Structure formats: C-alpha cells, structure tokens
Structure 1
Amino acid sequence: MAKTITTKVLVVGGGPGGYVAAIRAGQLGLDTTLVEEDRLGGTCLLRGCIPSKALIHAASKFHELGHAGNIGITLPQAASFDMAKAVSWKDGITGKLNSGVAGLLAKAKVRTVSGRAVFSDAKTCTVQTAEGPQTITAEHVILATGSVPVELKILPFGGDILSSTEALSLAEVPKRLAVVGAGYIGLELGIAFAKLGSQVTVVEAQERILPLYDAELTRPVERWLKKNGVTVHLKSMTTGFAGKGKSLKLQYQSADGASQDIPCDKILVTVGRRPNTQGWGLENMAVDLAGPFVKIDEQCRTSMRNVWAIGDLVGEPMLAHKASKQGEMVAEIIAGRKRSFDHVCIPAVCFTEPEIVSAGLSPEQAKAAAHQVKVGIFPFAASGRAMSMEAGTDGGFVRVVARADNHLVLGIQAVGAHVSELSGEFAHALEMGSRLEDIAGTIHAHPTLSEALPEATLAALGHALHI
C-alpha cells in the first residue's frame, strides 16, 4: 500500500530552480517536500553549466601550454591530454556540489524524496521510490522540471550521435567532431574540443553563429574559429548521417543547395532545448500552456490555484540564475511576502573563445524600442591588464548603451577573455538605474579588466581618456 505524505509545499525538480525554492521555503518555516528522480542539482550542475565549464577550463589550460612560447614558457616535449582523467576530475566537482545541495536542503529541514513524480491531479502525485510507491498531497506545488535536449529525428541520440550530456563524458577526445548548431552550447563545446586537438566542423542553418548575440559581439569568436582551424558551414541544413565508426559521415545541404558529407568520428547535436513537460502528468493538472511552455504571470502563478512554475519550464531565457531567482520569489510569496519577478535584465554569458556577456539592451534593441542612444566602446587592446594577461589582441571590448537624453544605461555588453566575471557588475549597474556619470565616477581598481567599463562610459560621454 502506498505511503502518503501531506505537505505545505511540494517542489518537483531538484535543479537550480527547484532546490533554491525548497531551501528558501524551508528557511521560512514551511513544511516542504522536494521530489527529484535523478541526483540533486539538475541539468545545470550534473550535465550542463558546471561540467561543461570544467571541461572548457581543462581544454583552455591544455591549449595554453602549446601557445605560451611568446611569454617564455617552453616544454621539453608536447603536452598530452588524458580525457578519462579530466572527466574524473569533472565528476568529482559535480559530486561535491551535489552533496552540498543535499546538505543545504537538510539544513533547511526539507524532506527529499527520490523518484519520478507523476500527478493524478493538480495537488497529488505518486512517486515510485526504491522503497515502493509514495503518494504526496500538497497545498502548494512548484513545478521545476527543467528542460531536455532537442533530438532530431534524422539524428537520434545514441552511439556516435551525442547530446551535450554524452559529450561531457567521452572516454577519449574524438579526432574529428561534427557539431550541428552554432549556438552557445555547440560553440562552447566545439571550441573546447578544438583546443584539445579535435578537427571540428560546425553546421549551422542560420546566416551567422550565435544568432542570439549581435554581430559586433560575435566577430571576435568568428576570428578565433578561423584562426584555429574550425570550419563553419552557415546557411546549411543537416539532412542526416551515414555509416558508423570510422566511416561515419554527417550529411548536410550547403548554402548553394549542394549535398555534402563531413567525415567524422562523433556527431554532437546542439540545436536547442525544450521544456520537460512529458511523462509526469502535466496533462492532469489543468494548467494553461503558452506554446510549449507552462503559462505563468509575473509571480510565476499558473492558471491553477496554488500551482506555480519556474525555470526552463516557463520559457526563455533558459538560464539557471533565472530559475533560482524565480524559485526564491515563489517560496517567499507562499510564505506571505510581497514579491514579483520584476527584473531590468537577466545577464547571459557565452563561454566561447573569447567569452561574451550581454546584459540589457543592445544598440539595435534600444533603437527598436524607440530610444535615442549613446554608445561607448572601450577595446581591451587599450587595457594594461588585458595586455598583461595575453587578452588584448583578440578583438575584445566593453560596450555601453545609454539613453541620449538622460544618460540612463540601457545595456552593457562585452566580449573578451574572462569577461564572464564582469556580468555581475553589469547587471548591478542596470538594476540600480545607473547613469553614464555614475559608472564613470566610480573608481575601479587598476590594473583590472573592470576598468574597461568606466572607460566605455567616458567614450559614450565623448571624453574617453585612454583611447
């Protein structure tokens, strides 16, 4: 006979949205139960953000060893890379973080149930656990089931056809890697494998790489790809594959309509992610959808009373930090606090070579919103810190977009080495309603990459000091 748990808050999904919602609900004294069918941490911690950045870091370290002669570093012989050891190191990181999440949930007195939740109605689910079925009824339900990779019928996952999950756990570096999709996942991993010695070829249906970012930001990435022998076929449509093993080929139609083959050892498919809405009884919950996503309001309420949805399940941008903030907010609303998801920006980072950060509006987006704008750019080629860390020659820069009338900052973008670490300052400036003069008047430590931000604002004001 199924055991029954009655709880105030039921959170379904233990990713960065779900576990944050559960921790915050527990901190607020709410009786909270979290159900997760896999390990705690979700896609981001286990199969996405963290493990991919670990592999990218290892690849960059290896690549640097072969390109450090100009700063006086030489090796008696060429460096070698042990993929299995790198994967083991990566798995150690995710293991420690997984244990950390479990500890935080326990500290917040959250009840954790392992297994897949399947809903029979909006407030009742059954979980098939190792000890048998368990029924859970709740006053409030927070849906945080995340997303899954999009699979192409012509390229089904399995064997030598990989999603990002399998690519992060390969036993060895493929000699030839074909990547389908030049979005951020495809290029982050494609560049990492190129640094490790793979011959990488990318096929993209759109007219340019990284179509979510403007062309000015992606130009330095294009230069790196060309310089390092990564072939990119734009306006090209994947049509299937042939062969297997050493005879594997990715088939595509080129921009001129010709059928082409790419000989490869592995095919990495990165054409996007879709919300995880299948297999757990969403159809029994009577919630409205907005296209493929669960429809919500500014407080993450669904159309069903006391059913909430957060993260990738509710739409773009599919970013872990968005999910976490939504989860925290929902827990506080359930506890009686007044909150809404009223953000000025959700910063996005692309861990390519070089890295890209975008917060707020680009110049084109600002103009499309009927703003007259001032734009200031400061190149890292003029930054002493960038030059001293070999980051001044990759075409990187910081760009500020502001209203022309009152100088309110509308957006800040950057491309360059390590610029991901500037994303917090960019978002903070936008959320605080900074003017150009506010940033220009804030003393930034020298020598740091962050100095490029006030320099960009000075450029927008018409009196740049160092360019």
Structure 2
Amino acid sequence: MSSTKFDVIVVGSGPGGYVAAIRASQLGLKTAVVEAESLGGICLNWGCIPTKALIKSAQVFEYINHAEEYGIKVENAEVSFSDMISRSRGVADGMSKGIQFLFKKNKIEKLMGWGKVQPGKKVEVEDQDGKKTVYSADHIIIATGGRARELPNLKIDNEKVVGYRKAMTLDKKPASMVVVGSGAIGVEFAYVYSSIGVEVTIVEFMDRIVPNEDEEVSKTLEKLYKKKGLKIMTSTEVTNVDTKGKGCKVTVKSKDGKEEQIECDIVLSAVGVASNVENCGLEDVGILVDKGKIKVDEYYRTNMPGYYAIGDVVPGPALAHVASAEGIICVEKIAGQHPEPLDYGNIPGCTYCIPEISSVGLTEAKAKEAGYDIKVGKFPFSASGKASAAGAKDGFVKLIFDAKYGELLGAHMIGANVTEMIAEIVAIRKLETTGHELIKTVHPHPTMSEAIMEAAAAAYDEVIHL
C-alpha cells in the first residue's frame, strides 16, 4: 500500500513538474507526482521533443533534394509521411520512459490520474476508473502546464482545424495547409510541412512573422520562407473558417479591410498557449488567478500557504526551460536553501525552424525605447568559413551593447544551429561580461560560434573578416 502523506506533491509532470520533483527528492523530501496522461507532459510527448524529430526528418529530406550541391547524386527520394510520424512518436516515447527511470532512481512516487488541489494541503487524484484517493503534503506545487489557445472564430475540431498536437499525428499528408500564427509553433510546422511538399500559407495578425524577435530576424526569415515557396500574409486576421465542404475555406481580412478566401485541406491554429487553471481545485482552495495565470511571488508561493505554482500557469514566458528553472528555485526555497530569484530578463528563446532562430535580452528597438545609447554589431554567416563549408550561409549574429558600460543588452541570431550558440550569451550576460572582454575571448576556428566574437568586434569597429 503506497503512502498518502508526502513532504511535496507536484501536480503535473512536464518539464516544470518532473524537474521540481527530482530536485525535491535530491534535497531529501519525500515526493510524489500526479499525472493525468504521460510522464514528461506536453513538452516531451506532444511539444518540444517530437516536433524536433519531425523537423529533423524534413531537414534530411531537404538535404537529399539538394545533395547535388554537395557533390552527391540521389534519385527519386520520397517522403513516407507515416514513417516520419512514427519516428517522432518513438522519440517521444523514449523520452517519457527516461522520465520513468529518473522517477525510480530518485524514489519519486507516481500517482496516475487527474489531480485537484483541496483545502488543508490535500490533493484528490481520480484515476481512469473514476476511483478517487486523497493525498496530503506539507507543500503542493501546481505545474499543470498549458494547451493550445483557441480563438473564438477558429474552433479546433481536430479534423480540419487542428492544434499542434494533432498536427504531429495527421493520418495522411495534406496537399495544402493554412497556418494561423507565426510564433515558434507556427513557423516550425510551416517549415516541416512545406519541406515535404505541402503548399503552406502563414497568416499573421501582427505586421511581421515571429513578431517577438528582432525586426531584422523577422525580415530574414520571411525572405527565406518566400524563397522556399511559402505564402506569407502579415497584418491579416482569420475571420471565418468554413469546414462544411471537402476541405476548408478560410476567410482572411487584411488591415485595410480587404477580404479574401483561401482554400486548403487543413488549418493549423498556432495562436499561443492557454494555461490549464480550470478544473484543478484552485477556487476551492482560494488560490488567486489573474488574467488566466496563478499569482505567485518570486519563490512561486501562491497567496495560500503551502501551495505553489510554476511553469505555464504563472506569468512569464511559456517555455520548458523556464518551468524547469522555476521548479528548482521553488523546491530549493521549500528545502530551506537560499536560491537566487529567476532573472526573467535573461531567458533565451529558441525557434527550431530552418534556419533556426535564437535570442536573449532586448531587441534593438526595445533597447532604444529604454533610452540606451547603443552599439550594434552584426556578422553575417556568409562571411563564415564553417557556414560556407556546411552550405549554411543564410543568417547572421547581431549583438546590442550599451555604449556607456559595454554591457551586452541583447543578442539575436538566425542561422544553422544558432539554438546551440545562445547559451554562451546567456552566461556572458549572467557574468556581466563586457563587449571588449568578449572580443578578447578566443573562439575556435572554423566554427559558427566565431560569429559571436566577430559581431562583438563589429560593434567596436574591430571586425577582422568583414
């Protein structure tokens, strides 16, 4: 008979929940995790990990189609859509099994079922058969994550209008697709489907795609996507989707009021993430929710003692690595340690379309808006030996420095493997390294990462290879 009393119960096993649980166990706290579906949550099972597997398959197909550029002849390469999907599922399943191993290793109890927090530091767990068990803990962490946000005029039916989850398990390859929203999810799926021969149209309400990125990054991605044959409509909203016929008739309206209709097989709604704050007992406990997010302090304590919240259910960017960092800070504080609160101004963002995008800190426009006198350094990958050798000359590294003190205010990259390069910048900003110190940090040659040193040198008129 398993125990019903714990030091910590975590509701949700995504990258916030499972990381918090492992850290709690490492710190000697008796820990349990409640999960309604699969260990690892959306990120491992339906988000970050399986999408990267699909992107890799699409990229391999793209390589094969351009093999002649590398002196290799390949004929009649074909996409097996179902095999692409099953590889992606296999990768996700392997990761989920890895979490099960970590739970066993760290002696974390797994409570499968729907968790609801209750007053008196209790959690009710309802299993698949409807059987309810109540567990108690001194500390309860809510990490119930998020789901695809739905727009009122774009209802997801999971047949013709789909969210990200269905988009990675479609039965057959559609001939055409409209992607609504051009954040990370939108542009990643647009890349996958267009690479394997689907006619893709991106519809974005804002005046540019990937609107949270630096403007030059948006422009570059739009140019490269159009070159690949994607249709891009910015400053445009979807007003109606008619799914009555064989496919979909999508009515879009531009800023100047002009309406047009696009016909396609599938519509992917990629308009952001909504927090899972409903039906998990928050009202019964009296936990405050504001604008769909649970209110917490810098250590993720809610207004009710003993109850905490992390990840997509609290304010801040809905990113896996943010949820993990929050989970660790939360349990270290519970265990009596003195963790430093998270610096939300130094969180890297990565988008895994091809070319990849990564960024941290202020954009050029935001830095100017904040009143900084700035120095901007830019280094294009077209001037990089490694990028030329790899056939990946698209994109650039752009660094923004405070002219007065040399502080690195922001970094924006678009190019091959730039998601692997951004951590250097995050560390530099954490350590308050100056532009001059960065220029004098010897980078290995030939690498893509040299572009960081070169961009810093460009900001101070010391660039060698431009």
Tell me the TM-score normalised to structure 2 length: 0.96
CA distance in 2 between counterparts of 1:104 and 1:4 reads 20
Distance in 2 (CA, whole Å) between partners of 1:122 and 1:364 is 49
Question: For residue 48 of structure 1, what is the aligned residue in structure 2?
Answer: 47
Q: CA deviation at 1:259?
A: 2.7
Which residue of structure 1 lines up, in the alignment, with residue 358 of structure 2? 357
Cα offset, 1:245, TM superposition: 6.0
2:121 aligned to which of 104, 120, 123: 123
| Pairwise CA distance, 1:264 | 0.7
CA contact (8 A) 1:377 1:400 kept: yes
Paired with 2:151 and 2:460, the residues of 1 have a C-alpha distance of 49
Partner-residue secondary structure (3-state), 1:326: helix
Contiguous gaps of at least 5 residues in structure 2: none
The within-5 A match list for 1:177-196 is 177-196=177-196
Instruction: Write the mapping of 1:68-87 to structure 2, written as runs, cut at 5 A.
Output: 68-76=67-75, 78-87=76-85
Which residue in 2 is equivalent to 1:461? 460
Q: Distance in 2 between matches of 1:247 and 1:302?
A: 46
Question: What is the 5 A alignment of 1:200-239?
Answer: 200-239=200-239
CA distance in 2, matches of 1:175, 1:244: 18
After superposition, give the CA deviation of every residue in 1:66-92 in whole Å (9 maximum; x if it has no partner). Answer: 12322212223x210111111111111
Tell me the amino acid that sits aligned with residue 434 of structure 1.
T
Q: Is the 8 A contact 1:378 1:455 kept in 2?
A: yes
In structure 2, what is the Cα distance between the partners aligned to 1:155 and 1:405? 48
Are the aligned partners of 2:160 and 2:243 in contact in 1 as well (CA < 8 Å)? no
Post-superposition shift, 1:417? 1.3
Q: Secondary structure at the match of 1:386?
A: helix
**452-461 or 283-292, which moves further after superposition?**
283-292
The one-letter code of the counterpart of 2:183 is G
Shift of 1:369: 2.3
Deviation readout 1:285-337 (Å, 9 max, x if unpaired):
21222321111111111111121111111023110000001101111111110
Correspondences of 1:66-465 after superposition (within 5 Å): 66-76=65-75, 78-121=76-119, 123-130=121-128, 132-158=131-157, 159-244=159-244, 246-343=246-343, 344-392=345-393, 394=394, 396-465=395-464
- Secondary structure of the structure 1 residue equivalent to 2:246: helix
Change (3 A) 1:74 1:98: same
Q: CA deviation at 1:244?
A: 4.4
- Measured after TM superposition, the shift of residue 4 of structure 1 is 7.1
Asked if the contact 2:160/2:247 (under 8 Å) is kept, the reply is no
Residue 206 of structure 1 aligns to a residue whose secondary structure is coil
Residue deviations 1:119-139 (CA, integer Å, cap 9, x gap): 232621211124732101111
1:36-65 CA-partner distances (Å, limit 9, x unpaired): 101000111111111111111111111221
Task: Give the residue type in structure 2 aligned to 1:129.
Answer: D
Deviates more, 1:163-172 or 1:361-370: 361-370
Q: Secondary structure at the match of 1:449?
A: coil
Alpha-carbon distance in 1 for matches of 2:392, 2:229: 20
Instruction: Say which SS state the counterpart of residue 29 (structure 1) adopts.
Output: coil
Superimposed CA distance per residue, residues 250-277 of structure 1 (whole angstroms, 9 cap, x where no aligned partner): 1222343233211111111111111110
Alpha-carbon distance in 2 for matches of 1:174, 1:425:
40
Per-residue CA deviation, residues 171-222 of structure 1 (Å, 9 max, x unaligned), is 2221101111122211110111000100001112111111111211112211
User: Any conservation in 2 of the 1:220–1:354 contact (CA below 8 Å)?
Assistant: no
Q: Using the TM superposition, give the Cα deviation of residue 413 of structure 1 relative to its aligned residue in structure 2, in angstroms.
A: 1.6
1-structure distance, mates of 2:120, 2:52: 37
Contact in 2 for aligned 1:13/1:42 (Cα 8 Å): yes
Distance change (3 Å), C-alpha of 1:277 and 1:241: same
Are 2:247 and 2:266, in contact at CA under 8 Å, matched by a contact in 1? no
In the alignment, the residues of structure 1 paired with residue 128 and residue 162 of structure 2 have an alpha-carbon distance, to the nearest angstrom, of 30
User: What is the alpha-carbon distance in structure 2 between the residues aligned to residue 245 and residue 93 of structure 1?
Assistant: 36
2:342 corresponds to which letter in structure 1? Answer: D
For 2:2 and 2:429, locate their aligned partners in 1 and report how far apart those are by CA, in whole Å. Answer: 49
- The letter for the 2-side match of 1:288 is L
Q: Structure 1 counterpart of 2:276, which letter? A: N
> How many residue pairs are counted as aligned between the two chains?
463
What is the identity, as a one-letter code, of the residue corresponding to 1:381?
S
The alpha-carbon distance between structure 1 residues 279 and 447, as it changes in their structure 2 partners (threshold 3 A), is same
CA contact (8 A) 1:249 1:261 kept: yes
1:238–1:251: 8 Å Cα contact kept in structure 2? yes
CA distance in 2, matches of 1:238, 1:439: 45
Between 1:191-200 and 1:366-375, the stretch displaced more is: 366-375
Query: 1:63 maps to which residue?
Result: 62
Judging changes above 3 Å, is the alpha-carbon distance between structure 1 residues 354 and 9 closer, same or farther for their aligned structure 2 residues? same
Q: Is the 8 A contact 2:397 2:412 kept in 1?
A: yes
Unaligned runs of 5+ in 1: none
Q: Distance in 1 between matches of 2:405 and 2:117?
A: 52
| Preserved contact between residue 221 and residue 352 of structure 1 (Cα < 8 Å) | no
Is this contact kept in 2: 1:246–1:264, CA < 8 A?
Answer: no
Distance 1:244 1:193, change over 3 A: farther
Amino acid in the other structure paired with 1:367 = K
Q: Which amino acid aligns with 1:352?
A: C
Kindly indicate whether the alpha-carbon contact (under 8 Å) linking 1:199 and 1:230 is maintained by their aligned counterparts in 2: yes
SS state of the match for residue 57, structure 1?
helix
Does the residue aligned with 2:464 lie in a helix, a strand or coil?
Answer: coil
Q: 1:192 to 1:445 in 2, by over 3 A?
A: same
Alignment root-mean-square deviation, CA: 1.6
Whole-angstrom CA distance in 2 between matches of 1:235 and 1:409: 32
